[in-house]
């Protein structure tokens, strides 16, 4: 499901079962990440599938990339893999106005 920045952020705050998933490349993550996000690069192809397959399907996934395209694709793949609740951040990290952290 595509959500605006405001809806995505407010839903995330109220969700005790949330996992934030960043599907950008490692280099892109150096520009900053949403706090608490895990990074699985969608460009890794089958590697992305393997990593996602290890995730807990009972969680709600809040997915983002740089602009919203790759994360929409990731949500679609995850839905096909049996993940019921995925939320795509429209506009991606480039439009994010919430808190960010620089990965170590």
- Beta-bridge mates of residue 87: 62
Enclosing H/E stretch for 37: none
Query: In the numeric block, which tokens belong to residue 57?
Result: 């399907």
Residue 54, judged by CB atoms within 10 A of its CB (0-12, 13-18, 19+), counts as: exposed
DSSP state of 36: T
Catalytic residue (one of 33, 40, 52, 65): 65
Concerning whether 29 is annotated as a catalytic residue, the answer is no
Distance, in Å, from the CA atom of 20 to the CA atom of 10, rounded to the nearest integer, reads 13
Map tokens 């005790």 to a residue: 16
Which residues are known to be catalytic? 65
């Amino acid at each position: 499901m595509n959500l605006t920045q405001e809806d995505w952020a407010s839903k995330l705050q109220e969700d005790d079962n949330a996992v934030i998933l960043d599907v950008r490349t490692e280099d892109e993550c150096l520009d900053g990440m949403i706090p608490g996000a895990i990074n699985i690069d969608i460009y890794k192809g089958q590697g992305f599938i393997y990593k996602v397959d290890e995730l807990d399907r009972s969680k709600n996934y809040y997915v983002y990339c740089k602009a919203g395209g790759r994360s929409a694709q990731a949500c679609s793949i995850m839905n096909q893999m049996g993940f019921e609740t995925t939320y795509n951040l429209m506009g991606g990290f480039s439009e994010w106005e919430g808190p960010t952290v620089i990965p170590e």
